[in-house]
Amino acid sequence: MNTLAETRFDFPGYKVRRYQGKVRDVYVIEEQLMVFVASDRISAFDVILPQAIPHKGQVLNQTAAYFLQETEDICPNHFITSPDPNVTLGLRTQPYPVEMVVRGYLCGHAWRVYQSGERMICGVRMPDGLQENDPFPEPIITPSTKSQVGHDEDISRDEILKSGLVEQDDYLKLEHYTLQLYKRGTEMAAQRGLILADTKYEFGHRDWDVYLIDEIHTPDSSRYFLKDSYDTARAQGERPQQLSKEFVREWLMANGFQGQEGATPPDMPQEFVEEVSRRYIRLYEQVTGLPFEPRQTTRSLAEEVYAHTLKAVRDILD
């Protein structure tokens, strides 16, 4: 199928720097403009998996663009325009080297820590007596370091401040924005019959201001429960149905892979790749309330994305 696994765009006439994240290819143009290309790569356990997922990049980019525009009253963000379904153009910022993970429910990584007997995560104590997917009394912030290659690592607020990764005044802003964004996200999710169980935000600074950057409330950065399923499953002691990529992690674990150093992730069968794609599309439609319109093109996605992006860059910079 026509997927966008990688881009190596040239922007003639401009000074360009390129770097590749786990999912996005990022171009810094003239030290002013950021071009974020959401590829169809998928990662789990901080490892890029062998197969690309059809439409995944479009889902990620359009979901993030939707929520960036819906939350711009809470804090400034980098969004300028989206000239292509897979592309966002944004202001250049200097990213903070931490991700702000916020958790309203005990699931995923936090549950694996809890299940091991630990009650401290990132300097935050989790209450005793909880079961998987139970709500926390109040949302907790569990930051992690940011890594373009390899594993992100849990880190506490005290460690961030003592190491100077983020200055105290800025970090307090990050915490404030994180909780406000999560509150808005949970309210919007509730309107769509969903529970936003956990998510993460990334921030950068520009001209002394803090900006929300990268993705927001996407299936790569967030975990959603179906509310009806959650209530029923909790009453019966079962797992609620999720809209997230946790099921990809579970498939990998069932096939013997958890991101171990030196281990090779298994190939996903074509039918599973197609199921992953369907789940991403379903999440987009449910969280935004908008129909998903897959692009129709007879040329390669890379050619089409490049044409749209180059025109938009020239329109902004020339």
CB 182 within 8 A of CB 104: yes
Q: How do strand 242-243 and strand 98-105 relate by DSSP bridges?
A: unpaired
Reduce the DSSP state of residue 176 to 3 states and report it: helix
- Across the range 270-279, mean pLDDT stands at 94
- Residue 147's pLDDT is 64
Question: Exposed e or buried b for every residue in 125-163, given b needs 16+ CB within 10 A?
Answer: ebeeebebbeebeebbbbbbbbeeeeebebbbbebbeee
Query: Which structure tokens are listed for 9?
Result: 């765009």
95-247: what fold?
Answer: D-amino Acid Aminotransferase; Chain A, domain 1 (3.30.470)
Nearest one of 315, 308, 318, 306 to 9, comparing CA atoms: 306
- Residue 231's pLDDT is 86
- Distance CA(58)–CA(285), nearest Å, equals 12
- Across the range 304-318, mean pLDDT stands at 97
More confident of the two residues 114 and 243: 114
- Residue 1's pLDDT is 63
16-93+278-317: what fold?
Answer: Phosphorylase Kinase; domain 1 (3.30.200)
- Residue 123's pLDDT is 97
CB 304 within 8 A of CB 84: yes
Q: What is the pTM of this model?
A: 0.90
pLDDT per position as a tens digit, 144-189: 997 655 567 999 999 999 999 999 999 999 999 999 999 999 999 9
CA 229 to chain centre: 23
Reduce the DSSP state of residue 313 to 3 states and report it: helix
- Across the range 286-302, mean pLDDT stands at 91
Domain boundaries, the chain: 16-93+278-317, 95-247
Does the structure show a pLDDT above 90 at 65?
A: yes
CB 267 within 8 A of CB 51: yes
- Residue 148's pLDDT is 53
Going by pLDDT thresholds of 50, 70 and 90, the confidence category of residue 298 is confident
pLDDT per position as a tens digit, 216-269: 999 889 999 999 889 899 888 888 988 778 889 899 999 999 988 889 999 999
- Residue 234's pLDDT is 86
Query: Which structure tokens are listed for 17?
Result: 């720097």
- Distance CA(160)–CA(174), nearest Å, equals 12
- Distance CA(271)–CA(109), nearest Å, equals 27
- Distance CA(171)–CA(72), nearest Å, equals 19
**pLDDT more than 90, % of the chain:** 83
Reduce the DSSP state of residue 63 to 3 states and report it: helix
Question: Exposed e or buried b for every residue in 227-257, given b needs 16+ CB within 10 A?
Answer: eebbeebbeeeebbebbbbbebbebbeeeeb
Going through 86-186 in order, the beta strands assigned E by DSSP cover: 87-91, 94-95, 98-105, 120-121, 124-125, 135-141, 144-145
- Across the range 18-47, mean pLDDT stands at 94
- Which residue, chain included where needed, has tokens 């769509």? 192
- Across the range 27-33, mean pLDDT stands at 96
CB atoms within 10 A of CB 222: 26
- Residue 196's pLDDT is 96
pLDDT per position as a tens digit, 180-225: 999 999 999 999 999 999 999 999 999 889 999 999 999 889 999 9
DSSP per-residue codes, 199-266: EEEEEEEETTEEEEES--S-TTTEEEEEHHHHHHHHHHT-PPPEESSHHHHHHHHHTT-S--TTPPPP
